[in-house]
Structure 1
Amino acid sequence: MTAAADPPEAFPAAFPFVLVLLRRMADHQPVLVEEALRELGVGRTTMREANRRWQAMRRSPRRRTPVAHYRAVLGPPEAAEPRRIGDLACEALLWPVPLWPGLRFEVLRGPGGAVWNEWLVRAPGAPAPRPRTLADLAPWSCTVDEVARAFPPARPMEGSAPTRWRLAFTAPDAAGELHHCVAEFTWGLLQRVEAVRPVSR
């Protein structure tokens, strides 16, 4: 992929968008991203160009909904499921992504086409991890929901960027000692656990 005159909408389906996800994850996990790029057979220049073109599409003055941008890049969703969040009805659109066959990229679309959320989730029917200690929280192993369910009551915190989420929770180490923790996620996928400190007795 080069910086040619092709419009951003000319992306082939699915493959370049995973580079957009990886570009944001490289800030926290550069080694894992380098391994992923080798698996995909591309380099950092291609990743940066994919991200540049995606951002250009999102900032385009053309009147397109956010979901239309995803359809232009990813093609038709694999599934569209009705959801309810409290009293509000929405639709979850799911797309497969390379590198993570057990995950799906989910876009929650509300009334009028507004996008409420966009992140990676566990694919329907795929086995989900069941972390029990801090040692189980390896980078890229869990989604936001999976960590929150494993260590309730997890408290959402503001992320450092629009594509980032943070959770505060308490979890045991391998010896059973409890620790206060903050986990950081990019596009909904765990990147690191930080601010770990023992629970005072």
Structure 2
Amino acid sequence: MGGMPPAKPASAAPFTPLDFQLVLLRRMADHNADLVEDARHTLGVSVAGMREANRRWQAMRHAPRSRGAVSRYRSILGDPESVTPRRIGDLTCDALLWPVPLWADLRFEVLVAPGGVAWNEWLVRAPGAPAPELRSLADLTPWSCTVDEAARAFAPARPLEGSAPTRWGLAFTAPDGPEGVRRDCAAEFTYGLLQRVAVTGRRP
């Protein structure tokens, strides 16, 4: 009999850059639900759509024959915008960058060690994009900066263990208020983007 072929189930549809952005947002929703809600509306996706994208992402990552991280990102995001050699300590690696339309001035960076192993995956400032001016605690608003930007602005900063694989922590001291009182702070980042800052103490 004729007629249209049956539609593919959602799980069989290609996983797209839009789906990947929803995965990033899903991980940020615990700390900044309002910002995530606004971004979801911007992308024109329902709550159920965001949950489904995250479910499919987790299924891909944990599949018995899951492809490597770099191959997975290439299949979803296409060829990287740039591939740049980078030396970190004694290790020479490649930094692969992909655009993330939701954050036009950021890029998703994957650092690939020799042998093709991805050992870091997070958001960074796009090459040539102006970095935020971070002078005090008041400047550290959600989604305002990346890990490396906060670390440089409030050096010396100390890495903290994140509460999940996609989260990073940073401890530093920042001036606060008109008198510039210095506060000890602990910042939490998801996929490298600032989510929240807690004041842990006051310096004399």
Q: Given the two structures, how large is their TM-score scaled by the length of structure 2?
A: 0.92
Which residue pairs with 1:6 in the alignment?
12
- In the TM superposition, what are the counterparts of 1:34-49 in structure 2 within 5 Å? 34-49=37-52
Q: 1:112 is paired with a residue of what secondary structure?
A: coil
RCO (CA 8 Å, sep 6+): is it higher in 1 or 2? 1
Q: 2:23 is paired with a residue of what secondary structure?
A: helix
- How far has the Cα of 1:99 moved from its partner? 1.3
- Would you identify which runs of 4 or more consecutive aligned residues in structure 1 move more than 6 Å? none
Q: CA RMSD in A?
A: 1.3
Quick one: percent identity of the two aligned structures? 66
- How far has the Cα of 1:195 moved from its partner? 3.4
Which residue pairs with 2:198 in the alignment?
194
Query: Structure 2: how far apart are the matches of 1:180 and 1:99?
Result: 32
- How far has the Cα of 1:75 moved from its partner? 1.1
Which residue pairs with 2:75 in the alignment?
72
Which residue pairs with 2:106 in the alignment?
103
Which residue pairs with 1:86 in the alignment?
89
The reply on whether 1:148 has 2:151 as its aligned counterpart is yes
Which residue pairs with 2:3 in the alignment?
none
- How far has the Cα of 1:152 moved from its partner? 0.6
Aligned length: 196
Structure 2 counterpart of 1:179, from 179, 183, 187: 183
Which residue pairs with 2:172 in the alignment?
169
Distance 1:86 1:5, change over 3 A: closer
Query: Structure 2: how far apart are the matches of 1:155 and 1:183?
Result: 10
Identify which range, 146-155 or 187-196, moves more after superposition: 187-196
Contact persistence 2:60–2:66 (CA under 8 A): no
Query: Structure 1: how far apart are the matches of 2:11 and 2:167?
Result: 31
The reply on whether 1:60 has 2:63 as its aligned counterpart is yes
Query: Structure 1: how far apart are the matches of 2:79 and 2:28?
Result: 25
- How far has the Cα of 1:4 moved from its partner? 2.8
Specify the code of the residue in structure 2 equivalent to 1:92: A
| Greater radius of gyration (CA) | 2
What's the CA shift string for 1:102-160, capped at 9, x where partnerless?
00000000011111100000000000012000000010000000000000100001000
Which residue pairs with 2:26 in the alignment?
23
